[in-house]
Chain A
Amino acid sequence: MTRRYSALSLFKEGLAGQTGWKQAWRSPEPKPTYDAIVIGGGGHGLATAYYLANNHGITRVAVLEKGWIGGGNTGRNTTVVRSNYYYPESVELYGLAHRLYEGLSKDLNYNVMLSQRGMVNLCHSTAEMEIGARTVNAMQINGIDAELFSPDDVRRVAPIYNFSPDARFPVFGGIWQGRAGTARHDAVAWGYARAASRLGVDIIQNCEITDFIVEGGRCRGVQTTRGAIRAERIGMAVAGHSSVLAAKAGFRLPINSYALQACVSEPVKPILDTVVLSPGCGVYVSQSDKGEIVIGGGLDRIPSYAQRGNLPTLESVIAGVLEMFPIFGQLKLMRQWAGIVDVVPDSSPIIGPSPLPNLFLNCGWGTGGFKAIPAGGALLANLLATGKHNDISRPFDLDRFAAGRLIDEAAGSGIAH
């Protein structure tokens, strides 16, 4: 009967032959009505359900997931956690996510393996160094840890970078965030699922939304492949498929869906203990705890819902990796995959009420949803519980496009949008 994870429970289960572990989350049948429904069982959806129960005491909640939890972008990203953004609104948002990540393993009683190994955004020219200094200043003024790195500093954290005199992208310095790092992406989904389930949330997998129930001009529930489910507050956190659900609900969003690729090499001994991003090469790289070199790059060139990625982009990403780290030329690529991301014109997320009353949005995270999971969940939970914005989510409302108050974080995302 071991429900909580601890050194003592590990020891006791060791003596008992590992026979007492309970399943991490329940898989109940859907009920006909709930206080709130969360569409999407990825990181943001599961976090929303957890914070609804934990922060707001709303436990009659269903998480409806089309496939299996964490099977979309939550399991397809490059696991980087950071908050090195430029505008104050973004700093509040990603700073909140970063702080929550730092306490997440303890909050959830689930080890999400946060590893704050630091991240450097390289600068490859005098002009880039000036922009780098400006970014570091902005981050420090907004209360985020940041440091302007010299070439020697970069050499200290990433000695295997291509520092040769004829390198195509020489290092002039970089933007360093020491608190940045990586976390185990599946563990984030599973940890939130387990914690939410223990608080009474129903996690319902293999349950696809076929339509919205609209009565009196308000959303009153959803039709699903497992029957009608009703609630007075409905939130959606479905990443790349936000436009598809919005079409069912009768409105459009400022979103284009693109595939974003990543790949990993075979595992090797520890050689890179930080995250390195080179805007010039269009690539960022880290080494997983297993030893694989994890490689991410820019969006595919073609709007797409195909979760596989196309060859020209992969080719340019791999070319970039070999510019940065010629030593990786010996590695074999083990896997390549893609997730569908929802790209917004100002590269900032959309959080807030939708044009259909009772339906709330958490979407548009583009290439950077993983690092924001705790904040996206906490803010959508706040909207569902109170029906209103708080100060952090207000600037990210859908109305910013008609009002012209865009938060253009294309640079903060670090990769071309």
Chain B
Amino acid sequence: MQLFPCPFCGPRDETEFHYGGDAGNARPDGAEVPTDRWAGYLYLRGNPKGTAREIWVHMNCGEFFVMERDTVTHKVLSSTALGGEHTA
């Protein structure tokens, strides 16, 4: 059983967390967004082997945050609130 660091609650059981996608995948803005740009935002993923920056939500406190993680070793490198003011 792995512990994940919530920037607000500290280390908690991995089952309390839900994966939310790539960090930095910004929703396209504006009235005229080309189709492939929408498809890229909705579907395409970096899916890196190694260090990944990901959005996670701690389901108990409901806060979203950015976790940097190695997808091979599962080692957590950093955990930061979306605004950047909390770090576990």
A–B complex contacts, Cβ < 8 Å, 7 sampled? A241-B49, A257-B71, A301-B19, A303-B19, A303-B52, A305-B49, A312-B14
User: Which residues of B does A touch, CB under 8 Å?
Assistant: 1-2, 14-15, 18-19, 35-36, 38-40, 42-49, 52, 54, 71-74
> Which of the residues A252, A302, A402 comes within 8 Å of B14, measured between beta carbons?
A302
Total A-B contacts with CB atoms under 8 angstroms apart: 69
A403 to B39, CA, bound (A): 8
Q: Which residues of B have CB within 8 Å of A257?
A: 47, 49, 71
Contacting pair A252 B42 (CB below 8 A): no
A310 to B14, CA, bound (A): 10
Chain A at the B interface: SS class: mixed
A247 to B39, CA, bound (A): 18
User: A256 an interface residue at 8 Å Cβ cutoff?
Assistant: yes
A200 to B23, CA, bound (A): 47
Contacting pair A310 B2 (CB below 8 A): yes
User: A311 an interface residue at 8 Å Cβ cutoff?
Assistant: yes
Q: Which residues of B have CB within 8 Å of A304?
A: 71-72, 74
Q: Which residues of A have CB within 8 Å of B36?
A: 402
> Which of the residues B1, B39, B71, B74 comes within 8 Å of A402, measured between beta carbons?
B39
Chain A 299-334, CB within 8 Å of chain B: the 1/0 string? 001111110001110000000000000000000000
Known: A257-B71, A401-B43. Contact between A244 and B49, CB under 8 A?
yes
Contacting pair A303 B71 (CB below 8 A): yes
Known: A302-B19, A310-B14, A312-B1. Contact between A254 and B44, CB under 8 A?
yes
- Chain A's closest residue to B73 (CB) is A306
User: A243 an interface residue at 8 Å Cβ cutoff?
Assistant: yes
A405 to B1, CA, bound (A): 39
Q: Which residues of B have CB within 8 Å of A247?
A: 46, 48
Contacting pair A256 B45 (CB below 8 A): yes
- Chain A's closest residue to B39 (CB) is A402
With both chains docked as a complex, state the minimum distance between the C-beta of B72 and any C-beta of chain A, in angstroms.
5
Contacting pair A256 B47 (CB below 8 A): yes
> Which of the residues A252, A302, A306, A310 comes within 8 Å of B44, measured between beta carbons?
A252
User: A219 an interface residue at 8 Å Cβ cutoff?
Assistant: no
Contacting pair A253 B45 (CB below 8 A): yes
Known: A301-B15, A402-B35. Contact between A243 and B71, CB under 8 A?
no
With both chains docked as a complex, state the minimum distance between the C-beta of A373 and any C-beta of chain B, in angstroms.
23
Contacting pair A305 B44 (CB below 8 A): no
Contacting pair A312 B47 (CB below 8 A): no
Contacting pair A253 B44 (CB below 8 A): yes
Q: Which residues of A have CB within 8 Å of B54?
A: 303
Closest 4 CB pairs of A and B: A243-B47, A254-B43, A402-B39, A252-B44
A301 to B43, CA, bound (A): 19
With both chains docked as a complex, state the minimum distance between the C-beta of A412 and any C-beta of chain B, in angstroms.
20
With both chains docked as a complex, state the minimum distance between the C-beta of B73 and any C-beta of chain A, in angstroms.
7
Q: Which residues of B have CB within 8 Å of A243?
A: 45-49
